[in-house]
Structure 1
């Protein structure tokens, strides 16, 4: 026999090992891409959060809402709920004890 055929055990093992190495290399590349993508996404998310915080700090609308909420809380604290006093009810069907 001059050359190895694809059915020899050594050739089969070499093909399996080669394909496993290729798969592992591809998985490592995908993992690196995923990590890089996650870092970029986290960076973008932090930028967006920082911009949102700046907008909230500089927003006059937010401060007005906070002030209005404070006034409502003060009103609630100043005016507790009170029951109204009413006259005792009279029953028109009372029995006269003298009869």
Structure 2
């Protein structure tokens, strides 16, 4: 059986916004990775379009944190390197500390 290789970045957040999609798109481009955002509450139309253009997959799931963990386990089992990120932590890190 052939094992897959490559990097998968899985972000999770209750409701993704433009900044989350732009962040993920930038990271997957930089790392030549596959990007997935798992969320609970549907994003706006503009966010969905931006995700499409940034090649970021959107996965809606009521228990989004658990789904992100399940996806991480599945991709690791298939041989991928996986990074799972809480996008609220990323957002908080972007805020001006002033």
Q: Compare the two structures and name the one with the higher strand fraction.
A: 2
TM-score range, shorter chain: under 0.3
TM-score (norm 2): 0.18
Q: Compare the two structures and name the one with the higher helix fraction.
A: 1
Q: Which has the larger radius of gyration?
A: 1
TM-score (norm 1): 0.18
